[in-house]
């Protein structure tokens, strides 16, 4: 029997962003982080697509069994939210929900271009700010978000000590 996941608060999500910051982010980091996400998703048999972008360039992409072309469209829409707002796509949606509205209703942005659904997390570099995004699509939005956060939580201490 599984227990339902608690929905994180806006404060919880903001704390994740403050904690998950890189000292630098290289091509090798993109490969290693993307590979870690692939490994985690395979172990869970998660039907996801995974994408890492930095400064407008795709550095990593993988589509696992069960994912579909729609996942790539979701990745692009969620990533655009991170690029525009500098925050995780799930956090942007949560901020709107906390105000009693929705991202779609209050942002007035094209929903075919932007999606404030969980799964895209900013790649933040100390001293440089948000330089990219790591995105997962294929699971319910909180699970997409949590998979990325779990991977970053595991990867960052290793990369900082290398």
Residue 3 has pLDDT above 50, yes or no: no
Could you tell me if 29 and 124 are in contact, meaning their C-beta atoms sit under 8 angstroms apart?
Answer: no
Burial of 108 (0-12, 13-18, 19+ CB in 10 A): exposed
Given the candidates 3.30.450.150, 3.40.50.300, 3.90.25.10, 3.60.40.10, the CATH classification of the domain at 10-160 is 3.30.450.150
Taking only the tens place, the pLDDT of each residue in 61-91 is 999 999 999 999 999 999 999 999 999 999 9
Taking only the tens place, the pLDDT of each residue in 89-135 is 999 999 999 999 999 999 999 999 999 999 999 999 999 999 999 99
Domain spans in the chain, listed from the N-terminal domain onward: 10-160
* Positions of E strands within 98-151: 120-125, 129-137
């Amino acid at each position: 029997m599984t227990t339902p996941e608690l929905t994180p608060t806006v404060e919880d999500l903001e704390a994740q962003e403050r904690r998950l910051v890189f000292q630098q982010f290289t091509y090798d980091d993109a490969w290693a982080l993307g590979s870690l996400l692939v490994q985690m998703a395979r172990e869970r048999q998660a039907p996801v697509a995974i994408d890492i972008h930095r400064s407008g360039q795709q550095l990593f992409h993988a589509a696992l069994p069960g994912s579909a072309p729609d996942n790539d469209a979701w990745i692009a829409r969620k990533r655009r939210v991170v690029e525009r707002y500098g925050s995780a796509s799930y956090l942007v949606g949560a901020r709107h929900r906390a105000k009693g509205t929705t991202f779609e209703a209050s942002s007035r942005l094209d929903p075919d271009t932007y999606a404030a659904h969980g799964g895209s997390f900013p790649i933040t570099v100390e001293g440089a700010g948000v330089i990219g995004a790591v995105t997962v699509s294929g699971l319910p939005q909180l699970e997409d978000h949590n998979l990325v956060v779990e991977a970053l939580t595991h990867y960052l201490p290793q990369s900082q000590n290398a």
